[in-house]
Structure formats: C-alpha cells, structure tokens
Structure 1
Amino acid sequence: MTEPCIICVAITGSVARKSDNPAVPVTISEQIESTHQAFEAGASIAHCHVRNDDETPTSDPDKFAKLADGLRKHCPGMIIQFSTGGRSGAGAARGGMLPLKPDMASLTVGSNNFPTRVYENPPDLVDWLASEMQKYGVVPEIEAFDLSHIFQAVAMAKNGQLPTPLYVQFVMGVKNAMPADRPVFDFYVETLKRLAPDANWCGAGVGRHQIELNEWCIEKGGHVRTGLEDNVRLDRDLLAPSNAALVRRAAELCEKYERPVATWRQTRDIIGLREAEGVA
C-alpha cells in the first residue's frame, strides 16, 4: 500500500489538564511550540482548541486568531483545523471563530451521549455551522460519534450543505458512545464507502484505544488522529512526553504498513484544500 497517510495531531482539547500530564499545552505559546514539534515529526493537520488562563475551555475568537497566526508562522503549510465542539461554548459561540477562515473545522452532525452528559448538536445549529463553513470556505471534518452521523453527513452532502468529497472521522472509545471495536470499525468503513465512495476518512481512539485505532486506520488505508487531546499516555505506566512523541508513534506504524506519511502538500491535495497562505 503506497497511499500516503495523513497524521492529524489534536494538541490540546478541552478536558486534559496539566495535572493529568504536564506536557498538555495550554497557553497559546505552548500550543504553538508543541504543534511545531509535532509538525516536524510528521503531523500535517493541527486540530485546535483554545483555553483560558485557568485551563478552562473557551471559544474566544481572539485566542483562535493568535494561535492561527503563530501556527502559520512556525508551521508553514500545516493545515489548521479549528474545533466547533460543544465543551467550549454554546450556540453561535461555537462557530464564532469561523470568520478567521481556518483551512478546516470540526463538525458533528448529530447528538450523542458523553460519559456524564449529552453532547447536543441540534439540527438548526448543525445547519448553521455548515452554512458558516461554506460562507468562509472552511472544509468540514465530520466527527462521527454514531452510525447516524455518517448517514446524516452523506445526506447533507447530497443536498449541497457539505462539500465533497467528505472527510469523515470515526471517533471511537468515548464512554456511552461508539465503542472501540474492530468489527464495528470495519462496518463503519464499509458503510461510508458504500454511501460515499469518494469520501476520505480517518479515526480517533480515546485513551488506551488511540494506538489501536491508529493501527486499524493505517492498515485499512485510512488516515489517523493522535495527540494529547485524546490520550495523555504512551502506556498504562508512562505519560506521553509530548504531542510529537504520539505523532512519531503513529509514523512508526505507517512504516510498518509501508505507507508514507503525507506531507502537508499531499494532505491539501487529498482533502482538496486551498493553497497554504504565504507559502511558495
């Protein structure tokens, strides 16, 4: 298999704190430095959240703007993907950073359970976020926490709300949502291929499931997400020293399956992204 494998690094998220792992980058400068290291290790997409000084999540567009400026300067060509997830805000605040025109943004097209709450994505909010992404030329990454999300994304693409080819991420291992189960994973991949044959896809495994999802995706021809947002450990006894360490681990799996790690140029071509700003 010679298809390049895209590595996305989810650098911070909204949950993990420095008390969980001191390597979790919180401030904008920490995030830029951590992403730069991950970029050099092979990551071509940075999935971005921002935090307040007390480590709580926020959707503050000013913080997203500072982060994006730093990433464009220190990681030229890297794909910047903002999160519109629900832990950082509610309603229209979740899309308040989209006018900044990142390359991509996450989009969850339906609701599901999380460990202690409902992750609410009502249809009117989903439709509005999708329209804002279209307005500003932002490519959505569909975060599928449930089978229905795959069907909904395909339906939205067919009626013109989402661009094609779709880029779909299977999120597995969240308690009360989609389990990290190999037969389920295989079924999701085959279902997406049946409904949207031209779609690109990747997988994200939460916690201890990160490394197995990385391997399943690489083996089956998809792309991968890693990083301290989803998992702060290398194994049960060892904390991950950096986002770059998790990226290198994914890159080693690419080598095992004889798949080259996608460069940022290859990633832009695979997903159909615009050219990088300020990069020749």
Structure 2
Amino acid sequence: MNKVLISVAPVASTDKNIVPADIAAEVVSCWQAGAAMVHLHVRDAGGNLTADMSLLAETLRLIRKESDIIIEVSTGGVSGLTIQERCVPLYSELVEACSLNVGSTNLGKAVYCNPLDDVEYCIRELLKMNKTPEVEVFEIGHIFAMKEFMEQYNFCEPVLFSIVLGHKGEAPATPQALAAMIQMIPAGTLWGITHANRRDFSIIAAALGLGASTVRIGFEDSNYLDANTIADSNVPLVAKTVRLLQAMDKEPMSPAEARKHFNIFSR
C-alpha cells in the first residue's frame, strides 16, 4: 500500500480562544490540502477540556457541511475529568473514530492517568457505540496492554495503533525508540506516527520508510514547519507532509480510501 492517511490535529493545547467557525474553516482547508482525518478534543471557549459538547458539536456540524473528512475526537488529554466525562464524544453521530488511551504516562510535568479500569470502560463504550479506535501508545507497555485487551474484546479489524513519541517523560523521538515500538506492534494490525514537540520531519520520514499507515500533523503536536520556521496555520504542515509522501513515491489517502482501508464503514 503506497497510500498514507494524513491526520491533522489543528488545535494546540495552549489555544485559549476556541471559535467553531475558525476551527472548521481551518480543517476544511487542511482537507483540501490532503488531510483525510481531523483529530479534535472537547474544549470550552477558553480551551479547557470539558464534557460540554456544545462548541465541538457546532464545529463538527460546520466541518461536515463543507467536507467528507473523517472526524475523530479524543477521549483523553490531561484533565480532572472522569472517564465518563471523557467519553462524551462517543455518543455523537458525527464522530466516526475516537482515540483510545490504554495506559498512564508522564507528559512533561503532568501525569496522564489512564488506569486499566477506565480503559476498559472506554473500550466497552466505544464498541457499544460502534466507533473506530485509534490506539495511542506512548510506551512499549501500552502496546502490550492493548494486545491483552484485543484478546478480551471483539475489535473490528484492522486495529490501528498510533505510536506517540517526543513528550518529555515518555518514549523519546529517536530512531531507536521508534524501532522498538514498531517491533511490539501485533501482527495483523496497522500503525502510524505522532511526533510531539517536533522541530523537523526526520522521525516522520523514518516512520514512513518503515511502513507507517498514518501520519498525524498539526498544532496540537507542533507548529514547526522546519527548525527555523513556525507555520502560521496547519495548512502548510499538511502540504509539507503531502510533498514528503510524494518524494517517497507515496500518496495521501482520500477520506473515502481511508474509510475503506481502516474499515471505518464496518461499525
């Protein structure tokens, strides 16, 4: 398969001005530039994680009105929300996929808490609502935990993992860490790359060379276009990812191709 899903996570955690029309317009521009999926969080007007879907619901309505991009919403993020509150996007008809976090880790000075009882609650609700999971793994132990969950629960195949590297306190964004994580990914599944605090595209290029099926890009992870240039929107980041794919004789997937490849329709 020489096609790759580009996912855009357009909203930085430091953004304190959440305006649905602005986010939706940015997402539509990223879709036009080659993104097949958008990754969003449930936030209030000040950018805080919340269980109130009001602003996100409006954002998703505007996105769907103008594009067929796959809509993925996170069930995670560092906050004081309960797992029940974190799972509210699972019940939206416009949400097709959700991130699934299967273990705790340090993220900078914060502790990202995902105790296994909470993980199982999220899995049960996700499967009940027929949402496609993207399993975010920050450490090798997270991959092993998900492998055990796959033996207990009937996930739709292929299960998609996202290898997350680069947060301070978790697996580093190095070729060695990337290779170790890839070796742990279960057979018969697919995987992609998210590089937090990215300053260049070298780890993304390495992951693509090793068979990544997805690449996540966007202000949630980094606004650096290269070591000396900060992008003023998410669109140049998507465009550069498309050029990187083309330089490697690959192509970005359309949303329709991605839905078929990752079996998002079979829900």
Instruction: Give TM-score scaled by structure 2 length.
Output: 0.93
Query: Could you list the per-position Cα deviations for residues 14-70 of structure 1 after superposition, in whole angstroms to 9, with x for gaps in the alignment?
Result: x2337xxxxxx7311111001001000100010012432223333322223222211
Give, in whole Å, the separation in 2 of the partners of 1:210 and 1:63.
32
- For structure 1, the residue ranges without an aligned partner over 5 or more in a row are 19-24
* 8 A contact 1:204–1:210 mirrored in 2: no
1:164 aligns with 2:157: yes
* 8 A contact 1:8–1:43 mirrored in 2: yes
Aligned sequence identity (%): 27
1:67 aligns with 2:59: yes
Give, in whole Å, the separation in 1 of the partners of 2:80 and 2:266.
30
1:135 aligns with 2:153: no
Gap change, CA 1:95 and 1:210, over 3 Å in 2: farther
Displacement of 1:266 after TM fit?
1.0
Displacement of 1:128 after TM fit?
0.6
Q: Which amino acid aligns with 1:8?
A: S
* 8 A contact 2:167–2:196 mirrored in 1: yes
Give, in whole Å, the separation in 1 of the partners of 2:179 and 2:36.
25
Displacement of 1:74 after TM fit?
1.2
1:28 aligns with 2:27: no
Gap change, CA 1:50 and 1:94, over 3 Å in 2: closer
Report the equivalent of 2:218.
227
Report the equivalent of 2:7.
8
* 8 A contact 2:102–2:116 mirrored in 1: yes
Give, in whole Å, the separation in 1 of the partners of 2:98 and 2:219.
18
Report the equivalent of 2:229.
238
* 8 A contact 1:9–1:225 mirrored in 2: yes
Give, in whole Å, the separation in 1 of the partners of 2:125 and 2:49.
22
1:83 aligns with 2:81: no
Give, in whole Å, the separation in 2 of the partners of 1:123 and 1:57.
21
1:38 aligns with 2:30: yes
* 8 A contact 2:43–2:49 mirrored in 1: yes
* 8 A contact 2:78–2:111 mirrored in 1: no
Report the equivalent of 2:189.
199
Report the equivalent of 2:203.
213
Superposition pairs for residues 110-189 of structure 1, below 5 Å?
110-160=103-153, 162-189=155-182
Instruction: Give TM-score scaled by structure 1 length.
Output: 0.88
The alignment's C-alpha RMSD in Å is 1.9
Give, in whole Å, the separation in 2 of the partners of 1:174 and 1:251.
24
Work out the number of aligned pairs and report it. Answer: 264
Give, in whole Å, the separation in 2 of the partners of 1:257 and 1:75.
27
Report the equivalent of 1:107.
100
Q: Which amino acid aligns with 2:15?
A: R
Q: Which amino acid aligns with 1:173?
A: G
